[in-house]
Structure 1
Amino acid sequence: MPAISDVARLAGVSKATASRALSGRGHVAEQTRLRVVQAASEIGYIASPDAASLVTGRTKNVGVVIPFVNSWFFGEMLEGIERTLLGAGYDLTLYNLPVSGPARARVFDFFLARKRVDAVIVIAVDLTEHEVRGLERREKPIVCVGGSGDATARLSIDDRAVGLLATEHLLHLGHTRIAHLAGIGATRHPSGVPGLRAAGFRDAVDAAEAAGATGVGGGRSPSGAIGSGAIGSGPIEAIVVETEMSMPGGFEAGLQLLGHPAHRPTAVFAATDEIAFGVIRAAERLGLSIPRDLSVIGVDDHEHAALFDLTTIAQTPAEQGRLAVEVALRMLGDAALPDPLPDSGAPLATRLVVRGSTARATA
């Protein structure tokens, strides 16, 4: 196997110069650097990351913690993270995190805290104080995308504003019988993504009441609906139903929600596009027409949203992944512009995309 001494001999430089030229650390004349790179290429020399880490104290590896790997949103974000890390010369180690239990503790107490990663990117996970402090004690920068917890840097959309905007769209179209299909845990964990989007839904309903309605709610949950609850009483019927944030979850909840004509809403705000896809399929199964009989709006702008002609609140998970890596590199001092860090309090961009799944309420 070729060694650094072989590269130095072929390029006509010292081993120290060859090492600086290949690592990018320390000054080397450009002509000399090119000669060393050419020599390394000719003999097939590959620098050892373990040896480099002994000198620099860096592993050039970032740990990425994610709750799911089999959904479009998280796949898009991972692609953005990986593409940006590779472009910066970094590798990644992926941890598919369970909600709780010994396996989760091992990820934070052993794999991330004691193994060789330079920084940690956490996606849509609610971190405990113990988990955050354990990483900080070992001087590992943490960048969170969504979720909650007192991390050094956080990037997220304003999920409460997303719920507000989606519901306002339906209210402005004249709908007064509206259901929100929220993610599981929206009621138990109000600071999580499902809880915040449900809070935005309630904000919009409350604002409609303040603008002139005599009351809010009165909606009864259909028999068998998952985790449902009505809001208030009056001419605006607002129902919250919790379900899995997936197309099957939306389909199952949609069948229960729409299968009772006496309590059927005329509009649904789905917490994700995948839930919305399931609702649309449930409506079709029941013989309902979209949007004549039912308006549906989702969140994400999934790659198949246009195929379903779905109105949605668009966000860009791949771009969020890229930004998370940029923040991590700035915290490590490896970015071209180490300071300042992006404002963690500023929400990432979202926008309303109107397609054919929403329309004015019929009489």
Structure 2
Amino acid sequence: MAPDIDDVARAAGVSTATVSRALRGLPNVRESTRARVRLAAIELGYAPSASAASLASGRTRTVGLLTPWFRRWFHASVTEGAERALRADGFDALLYSFELDDQFRRSRVDPFVLRRRVDGVLVVGMTLDPEEIATLAGLEVPLVFVGAGPPEQVTVGVDDDAAARTATRHLLALGHTRIGYLGGAQAERAPWSPPVLRLEGFRAELAAAGLETRPGWLVHGHFGMTGGRTACGGLLDAHPDVTAIFAASDEMAFGAMQAIRDRGLRVPEDVSVIGIDGHDLSELVGLTTVAQDAVEQGAAAAALVLEMLTGTPVGNRLTYPVSLIERSSTGIPPI
């Protein structure tokens, strides 16, 4: 009989969940433990994909991936990572996007298009209301959120509050006190969503420095370059004394940099700009950013779905680190 995951767990002296995490390359496993698990798997002749290959008959071997965009950096990167991980285990991804209107409103999630067509669901960079979450949970298949998810659901992402605090502290350390904030969706209300958490982190860090949040300096660019350019332009026209812009995404930061130059100003001599993401183009344009690994988050989320399909218990939250990357778009404020 071929060895299974229980055999590897016994040989390595760990739980089956740890074996699964170690062999799939997920974080929060000590390197010494990972090495012990891998050695046990090699000695036993265990293949980590065997758990997925031995799933009960009747599976579709397909995971649904729901996202409002496929061309924006975060969503595209997560999709890339998820598809790569799924293919490695012989699964396909069924992609669903949602058309947004001029007010960035989308159609509601329809669970019936997924029923009996997928073995699991990934929700990427999209805030769902409680009713939508309940309908997806009602499919009774593994459900994982990437980038934004309620605390009671399995979610992969970064600490958005901490990421915003890191960006704000960087500007404060340079001496900026007149900082404009370029946020995502103005209508967002879910307390666990990135737009809400990043704004809260910004406000909290200003308060810790003894500074007030000025409502007129908070604008929204809907996480896109065009929206960022328009919103930042309006902010600069109304408040020309702003010396720095914190954009809650790199794509909005790109738009902000263009809006600054549209007005004959320089980055960073006149206005500094910082973003969040680690977009592939951020190095090219010299953007200071708080970077995250979105591709790896997608791969980890797909791995969690596969773990859940085999009955492996998983935690509710997998948090990835962020890192400040300083480039030429930030500097000391003008005198």
TM-score (norm. length: structure 2): 0.77
Q: Quick check: 1:358 aligned with 2:335?
A: no
Identity between Structure 1 and Structure 2 (%)? 39
Counterpart secondary structure, 1:275: helix
Q: Quick check: 1:296 aligned with 2:273?
A: yes
Match of 2:259 in 1: 282
- Code of the aligned partner of 1:240: L
8 A contact 1:129–1:149 mirrored in 2: no
Distance 1:54 1:199, change over 3 A: closer
- Give me the whole-angstrom Cα distance separating, in 2, the residues matched to 1:187 and 1:263: 27
Tell me how large the CA RMSD over aligned residues is: 2.5
How many residues are paired up? 280
- Code of the aligned partner of 1:165: T
Q: Quick check: 1:315 aligned with 2:292?
A: yes
Distance 1:187 1:174, change over 3 A: farther
Distance 1:102 1:252, change over 3 A: closer
8 A contact 1:186–1:198 mirrored in 2: no
Counterpart secondary structure, 2:205: helix
- Give me the whole-angstrom Cα distance separating, in 2, the residues matched to 1:241 and 1:126: 20
Match of 2:162 in 1: 161
Distance 1:79 1:56, change over 3 A: same
- Code of the aligned partner of 2:184: G
- Give me the whole-angstrom Cα distance separating, in 1, the residues matched to 2:151 and 2:131: 10
Structure 2: 5+ residue runs without aligned partners?
A: 1-52
- Give me the whole-angstrom Cα distance separating, in 2, the residues matched to 1:276 and 1:152: 31
TM-score (norm. length: structure 1): 0.71
| Structure 1 stretch displaced more, 118-127 or 343-352 | 343-352
Q: Quick check: 1:104 aligned with 2:108?
A: yes
**Deviation by residue 1:290-323 (Cα, 9 ceiling, x = unmatched):** 1111110001111100111000000111111000
Higher relative contact order (CA 8 A, sep 6+): 2
Distance 1:201 1:149, change over 3 A: same
Counterpart secondary structure, 1:312: strand
Alpha-carbon deviation of 1:67?
1.4
Match of 1:81 in 2: 82
Counterpart secondary structure, 1:56: coil
Q: Tell me which structure has the larger Cα radius of gyration.
A: 1
| Residue correspondence of structure 1 range 123-202 to structure 2 within 5 A | 123-149=124-150, 152-185=153-186, 188-202=189-203
- Code of the aligned partner of 1:216: E
Structure 1: 5+ residue runs without aligned partners?
A: 1-51, 210-214, 220-228, 231-238
- Give me the whole-angstrom Cα distance separating, in 2, the residues matched to 1:101 and 1:172: 38
Distance 1:67 1:359, change over 3 A: same
- Code of the aligned partner of 2:108: R
- Give me the whole-angstrom Cα distance separating, in 1, the residues matched to 2:304 and 2:255: 36
